[in-house]
Amino acid sequence: MIKNTFEITNNVAWQLEPIENFIYIYNIKDNYYIYLEDTAKEIWHLICDKNTTEEIAKKISEKYQVEFIEVLEDTKETIQDLIDRGVINLENNH
3-state secondary structure 41-86: HHHHHHHHCCCCHHHHHHHHHHHHCCCHHHHHHHHHHHHHHHHHCC
Whether pTM exceeds 0.75: yes
User: 93: pLDDT confidence band, cut at 50, 70 and 90?
Assistant: low
Please give the share of the chain, as a percent, with pLDDT higher than 70. 95
Please report, for the chain, the start and end positions of each structural domain, with discontinuous segments joined by +.
Answer: 11-87
Q: What is the mean predicted confidence (pLDDT) over 4-17? A: 93
User: 58: pLDDT confidence band, cut at 50, 70 and 90?
Assistant: very high
The span from the CA of 13 to the CA of 39, in Å, is 20
**CATH match for 11-87 among 1.10.8, 1.10.860, 3.80.10, 1.10.10:** 1.10.10
Q: Is the pLDDT of residue 52 over 70?
A: yes
Q: What is the mean predicted confidence (pLDDT) over 16-26? A: 92
